[in-house]
């Protein structure tokens, strides 16, 4: 009897099952060496395609994150300058700005590895929302001591603790991101320099582009105001790098919402006026616009009202005298600055043929509160006003005595006069009054040879031009400006608003004042010097200010100007840099003067 076969072991069973799962190759199938090679090529192409897609996606993310941060700090750079201008003026605010931003970029870029090690495991970009949202709080606090910091150092101190850390941490993050950029196709020396130089170039281009957009649209909506733009930037940083650290921004947001008087709300304005009440001042209205922070400030105690733009005063009038006593029924208000009355002396200049008011046309460049245009209209002169800032025109019409029967041109004066001068059939004027000033310095483009030549074209042969220039006589710009004016208008006389204060000059070494240059188109001759007729009662418009200041008194001779070699020559359109460096000194001097005109609390609270 044959032995009974034993059952297979478990191991042999597993082997059988395993072997049975393998599909045998059918020799009759279509498999060939050629088809196998094609399949390999297809798999290689697919793998290569997936690798390139991943590479492109990774590189795009690197550059997108870097570009986003660079764009944000470009916008923050512009907004920082706007936020400082009400307390310091635009020129002092820009004094250290470019150097500080460059230093912050270098510091952040060169320390990105160190920063990553120090903050680990916290990502550096998560600090950016906290820095950005605390900036308004720091600016508000330091603005309260701007008088102590002064215009020379206040902007530098403020941006050192606000903008500098924001830019430095952003630059460090950009450097970290670009470590992941694949630059293997470039030569080594190019690959080493490209991230840093490319980032800075992108930042400067974004700063110029977005800076122009921000400044051009400031004040158009609530979102375009200084403080709200800073909060929006903070929110953008929070979206870019969300983290649990955002909880530390809550106190800053609460302060901005409920305690910061710069918020463009009626509640914030009420808090501002509550703080100004002990000083005897009240802000009637305020708005942000393309030329700066514009506000109407009233002094009920002293009885006057002024129009402010950033850290300058565009004019003021005595409201307590309106409709009072002998002034009741006056056609014009009483200006608080004599120079504005002096500009009206353009009508007193003797001309070869007398100019009849009812037949005359006047062009006023720069509105202010409208003192001069109001007087010209009161004399029956057809008056056109060119004003760049729509808010200035709105406030002059609403809060000051600017009559409605004038022609308002809300446009850049350079563009307007160039277009009108090129039109042979366009308007020509018997009087041109050039009165532009803000930020502690004159707009340089409005004193170039080319601009003045356009005014010469627009002035009738029998006409008179009056140009107001505010500056420091100890610096070259006033002499350069006068040289340029006299190269276009050959016959001129110059008068100061007031004589030089020798005691103050000896103490400060500065001689900042307004001067008015009266010119005609007639050629100089032995008897061709400009002369003024005596004003009549009608010329004075029943105004004590005009009785005191209408007739020019403190004449300036060319020998009164200093400047040496740097004060020689004239100013052309492509040479405006000649005046830029001196305007910084003039603006600092103007800032000091303004702090004596109104209490520091008014300037600091803005």
Helix (H) or strand (E) holding 1: none
Please tell me whether residue 404 adopts helix, strand or coil conformation.
coil
pLDDT value at position 504? 80
Q: How many other C-beta atoms lie within 10 A of the C-beta of residue 78?
A: 21
Contacts of 366 (CB under 8 A, 6+ apart): 386, 387, 413, 434, 435, 436, 437
Calpha distance 347→164 (Å, rounded)? 53
Sheet holding 554-556, edge to edge: 407-410, 382-387, 361-365, 429-435, 459-472, 512-520, 491-496, 554-556
* Nearest-angstrom CA–CA distance, 471 and 514: 7
Residues 254-271 have a mean pLDDT of 96
3-state SS record for 420-452: HHHCCCCCCEEEEEEECCECCECCHHHHCHHHH
> Quick one: CA torsion of 307, 309, 310, 312, rounded to 10 degrees?
-70
Residues 400 and 369: beta-carbon distance below 8 Å: yes
How far apart are alpha carbons 58 and 125 in whole angstroms?
19
- For residues 485 and 299, what is the distance between their CA atoms, to the nearest angstrom? 38
Mean pLDDT comparison of 114-123, 208-217, 252-261, 556-565, highest-scoring range: 252-261
What number of other Cβ atoms are within 10 A of residue 330's Cβ?
A: 17
Alpha carbon distance 117, 119 (integer Å): 6
Q: Which tens digit of pLDDT belongs to each residue from 436-451? A: 976 556 688 999 999 9
Angle subtended by helix axes 163-178 and 188-217, to nearest 10: 140
What's the confidence (pLDDT) of residue 560? 82
pLDDT surpassing 90 at residue 150:
yes
Question: Which pLDDT tens digit goes with each residue over 192-246?
Answer: 899 999 999 999 999 999 888 898 899 999 999 999 999 999 999 999 999 999 9
* pLDDT tens digits along 350-378: 999 999 999 999 999 999 999 999 999 99
Residues in the chain: 606
Alpha-carbon distance 554 to 559, whole Å?
14
pLDDT at 387: 96
pLDDT digits (tens, 9 = 90+) for 325-351: 788 888 899 999 888 899 999 999 999
Per residue in 467-491, pLDDT (tens digit) is: 999 888 888 888 899 999 999 998 9
pLDDT value, residue 164: 98
Q: What is the pLDDT of residue 116?
A: 78
Q: Helix/strand/coil (H, E, C) string of 146-195? A: HHHHHHHHHHHHHHHHCHHHHHHHHHHHHHHHHCCCCCCCCCHHHHHHHH
pLDDT over 80 (residue 31): no
By mean pLDDT, which of 199-203, 216-220, 549-553, 562-566 is the weakest? Answer: 562-566
Dist. CA 8–CA 363, nearest whole Å: 116
CA atoms within 13 A on the CB side of 46: 6
Task: Please state whether beta strands 429-435 and 459-472 pair in parallel, antiparallel, or not at all (unpaired).
Answer: parallel
Q: Counting beta carbons within 10 angstroms of the beta carbon of residue 494, is it exposed (0 to 12), middle (13 to 18) or buried (19 or more)?
A: buried
Tokens 């004038």 sit on residue: 406
Write down the pLDDT at residue 599. 93
Distance CA 266, CA 501 (A): 43
Mean pLDDT in residue range 271-297: 96
Which domains, from first to last, does the chain contain? 54-264 (no CATH), 337-605 (3.40.50.150)
The pTM (predicted TM-score) of the whole model is 0.87
β-strands 304-309, 312-318 pairing: antiparallel
Q: Burial code of 510-542, b = ≥16 C-beta within 10 A, e = fewer?
A: bbbbbbbbbbbbeeeeeeeebebeebeeebbbe
Task: List the beta strands (DSSP E) in 290-371.
Answer: 292-299, 304-309, 312-318, 361-365
Report the pLDDT averaged over residues 424-432: 96
Q: Considering only CA atoms, which of 600, 606, 602 is closest in space to residue 149?
A: 600
Strand pairing category for 491-496 and 407-410: unpaired
Q: What residues form DSSP beta bridges with 556? A: 494
Angstrom distance (rounded) from CA 233 to CA 382: 47
**pLDDT band (50, 70, 90) for residue 536:** very high
What is the model's pLDDT at position 12?
Answer: 44
User: How far, in Å, CA of 574 to CA of 588, rounded?
Assistant: 25
285 sits in which H/E element: strand 282-289
The three-state secondary structure class of 254 is helix
580 CB-near residues (< 8 Å, 6+ apart)? 444
Q: CA distances (Å), 460 to each of 407, 421, 577, in order? A: 19, 12, 32
Of 114-123, 135-144, 305-314, 425-434, where does mean pLDDT reach its minimum?
114-123
Which residue from 101, 118, 124, 62 is spatially nearest to 200, judged by alpha carbons?
101
562/134: higher pLDDT: 134
Q: Facing residues of 306 across strands?
A: 297, 316
**The pLDDT of residue 153:** 97
pLDDT at residue 129, rounded to an integer: 97
Ordered strands of the 292-299 beta sheet: 282-289, 292-299, 304-309, 312-318
Q: What would the mean pLDDT of 305-315 be, rounded to a whole number?
A: 94
Tell me, what's the pLDDT at 528?
64
């Amino acid at each position: 009897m044959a032995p009974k076969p034993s059952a297979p072991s478990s191991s042999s069973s597993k082997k059988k099952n395993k072997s049975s799962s393998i599909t045998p190759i059918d020799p009759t199938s279509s498999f060939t060496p050629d088809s196998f090679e094609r399949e390999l090529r297809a798999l290689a192409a697919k793998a290569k395609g997936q690798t390139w897609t991943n590479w492109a996606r990774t590189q795009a993310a690197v550059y997108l994150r870097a570009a986003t941060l660079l764009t944000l700090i470009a916008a923050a750079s512009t907004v920082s300058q706007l936020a400082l201008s009400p307390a310091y003026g635009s020129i002092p605010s820009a004094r250290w700005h470019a150097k500080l931003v460059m230093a912050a970029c270098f510091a952040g870029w060169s320390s990105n590895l160190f920063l990553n090690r120090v903050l680990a495991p916290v990502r550096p970009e998560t600090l950016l929302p906290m820095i950005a949202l605390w900036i308004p709080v720091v600016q508000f606090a330091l603005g309260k001591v701007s008088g102590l910091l002064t215009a020379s150092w206040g902007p530098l101190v403020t941006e050192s603790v606000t903008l500098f850390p924001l830019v430095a941490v952003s630059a460090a993050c950009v450097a970290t991101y670009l470590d992941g950029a694949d630059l293997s196709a470039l030569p080594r020396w190019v690959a080493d320099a490209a991230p840093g130089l490319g980032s800075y170039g992108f930042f400067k281009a974004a700063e110029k582009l977005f800076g122009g957009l921000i400044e051009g649209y400031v004040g158009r909506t609530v979102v375009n105001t200084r403080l709200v733009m800073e909060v929006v930037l903070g929110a953008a940083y929070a979206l870019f790098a969300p983290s649990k650290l955002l909880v530390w921004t809550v106190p800053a947001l609460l302060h901005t919402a409920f305690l910061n008087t710069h918020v463009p709300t009626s509640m914030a304005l009420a808090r501002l006026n509550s703080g100004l009440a002990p000083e005897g001042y009240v802000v009637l209205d305020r708005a942000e616009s393309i030329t700066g922070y514009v506000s109407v400030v009233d002094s009920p105690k002293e009885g006057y009202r002024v129009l402010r733009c950033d850290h300058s005063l565009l004019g003021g009038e005595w409201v307590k005298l309106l409709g009072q006593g002998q002034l009741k029924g006056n056609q014009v208000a009483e200006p608080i600055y004599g120079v504005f009355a002096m500009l009206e002396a353009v009508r007193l200049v003797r001309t070869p043929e007398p100019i009849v008011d009812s037949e005359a046309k006047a062009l006023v460049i720069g509105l202010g509160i409208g003192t001069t245009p109001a007087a010209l209209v009161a004399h029956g002169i057809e008056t056109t006003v060119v004003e760049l800032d729509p808010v200035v025109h709105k406030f002059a019409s609403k809060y000051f005595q600017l009559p409605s029967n004038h022609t308002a041109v809300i446009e850049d004066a350079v563009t307007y006069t160039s277009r009108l001068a090129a039109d042979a059939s366009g308007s020509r004027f018997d009087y041109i009054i050039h009165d532009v000033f803000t930020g502690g310095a004159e707009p340089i483009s409005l004193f170039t040879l080319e601009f003045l030549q356009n005014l010469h074209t627009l002035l009738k042969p029998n006409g008179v031009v009056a140009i107001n220039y505010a500056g420091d006589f100890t610096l070259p710009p006033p002499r350069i400006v006068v040289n340029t004016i006299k190269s276009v208008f050959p016959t001129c006389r110059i008068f100061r608003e007031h004589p030089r204060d020798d005691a103050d000059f000896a103490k400060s070494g500065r001689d900042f004042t307004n001067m008015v240059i009266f010119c005609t188109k007639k050629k100089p001759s032995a008897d061709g010097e400009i002369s003024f007729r005596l004003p009549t009662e009608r010329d004075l418009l029943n105004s004590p200010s005009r009785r005191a200041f209408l007739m020019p008194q403190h004449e300036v001779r060319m020998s009164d100007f200093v400047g040496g070699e740097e004060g020689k020559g004239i100013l052309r359109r492509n040479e405006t840099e000649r005046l830029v460096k001196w305007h910084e000194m003039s603006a600092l001097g103007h800032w000091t003067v303004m702090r004596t005109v109104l209490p520091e609390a008014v300037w600091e609270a803005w």
